[in-house]
């Protein structure tokens, strides 16, 4: 399957992927409104890790046998059998955070929206087409491509 791959050598630690992720997962799809009205600061589903000068964007790897899906107590977290995308049906999530304990990449963070739990994890912008983090990366430090046959 096509996944987002980070190319740390090209990452300039601008965190635009986080900003674009937040906007893509906002109700308004507008940067100003996402931050100032919807209070979505800090809710990115991609994490730019820094050990300067090194920086790299970390996000869900959409595992073949995802621990987050296996551990989900409500059945909210699923892997789409056609696309391979691992995503959370957020209205089913109860916020137990077993997914947080399961993810080997630490790519799921506990979050909250309107008093309801939201696991902050990459869904490859499955309703859009190209992930927003990739589309907005100014230096192609993130690419969306197929690297393994059948994966």
Partner 1 sequence: MNYVLIGNSVASVNAVAGIREYDREGSITIVSAENYYAYGRPLISYWLEKRVQDQDMPYRPQEFYEKNCVRVILGRRAVKLDPEARQVHLDNGEKLPFDRLLLATGGRPFVPPIAGLTAANYFTFINYDDVRRLEAFAIPGREAVILGAGPTGLKAMESLVQRGVKVTLVELADRIWAPALDPEAGALVAGFLQDNGVNLYLNDTLTSIRQEDDGRLLIELKSGRELKADILVIAIGVRPNVELLTGLPGVTINRGVVVGPDLSTGLPGVYAAGDVVDGNPPLLPHAAIQGKIAGRNMAGAGEIYQPLPPYNALGFLGLHIISMGNSAATGEEYELLTEVDPAALVYRKLVLKDNRLSGALLINKIDRAGIYRQLLEEGIEVTSFKDELLRPDFGLLSLPETIWQQQLAV
Residues that bind partner 1 (CB under 8 A): 5-6, 47, 49-51, 54, 56, 58, 61, 63, 65, 67, 69-75, 91-92, 94-98, 100-110, 147
Distance CA 136, CA 29 (A): 14
Q: Which is nearer to partner 1, 33 or 61 (CB)?
A: 61
Minimum CB separation of residue 34 from partner 1 in Å reads: 22
Q: Which is nearer to partner 1, 35 or 97 (CB)?
A: 97
The single residue listed with the structure tokens 């997914």 is 99
Judged by beta carbon, residue 32 or residue 53, the one nearer partner 1 is: 53
d(CA 78, CA 62): 10
Element (H, E) at 102: helix 98-102
Distance of closest approach, residue 32 Cβ to partner 1, in angstroms = 27
User: CB of 41: closest distance to partner 1 in angstroms?
Assistant: 16
Q: How far apart are CA 118 and CA 52, in angstroms?
A: 30
Cα(86)–Cα(61) distance, rounded to whole angstroms?
Answer: 9
Nearer to partner 1 by C-beta: 94 or 128?
Answer: 94
Contact 78, 86 (CB under 8 A): yes
């Amino acid at each position: 399957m096509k996944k987002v791959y980070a190319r740390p050598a090209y990452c300039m630690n601008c965190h635009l992927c986080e900003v674009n992720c937040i906007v893509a997962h906002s109700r308004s799809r507008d940067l100003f409104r996402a931050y100032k009205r919807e209070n979505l600061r800090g809710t990115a589903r991609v994490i730019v890790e820094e050990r300067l000068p090194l920086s790299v964007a970390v996000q869900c790897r959409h595992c073949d046998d995802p621990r987050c899906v296996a551990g989900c107590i409500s059945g909210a977290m699923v892997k789409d059998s056609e696309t391979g995308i691992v995503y959370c049906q957020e209205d089913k999530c109860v916020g137990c955070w077993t997914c947080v304990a399961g993810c080997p990449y630490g790519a799921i963070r506990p979050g909250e929206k309107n008093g309801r739990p939201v696991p902050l994890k990459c869904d490859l912008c499955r309703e859009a087409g190209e992930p927003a983090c990739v589309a907005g990366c100014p230096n192609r430090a993130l690419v969306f491509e197929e690297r393994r046959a059948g994966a």
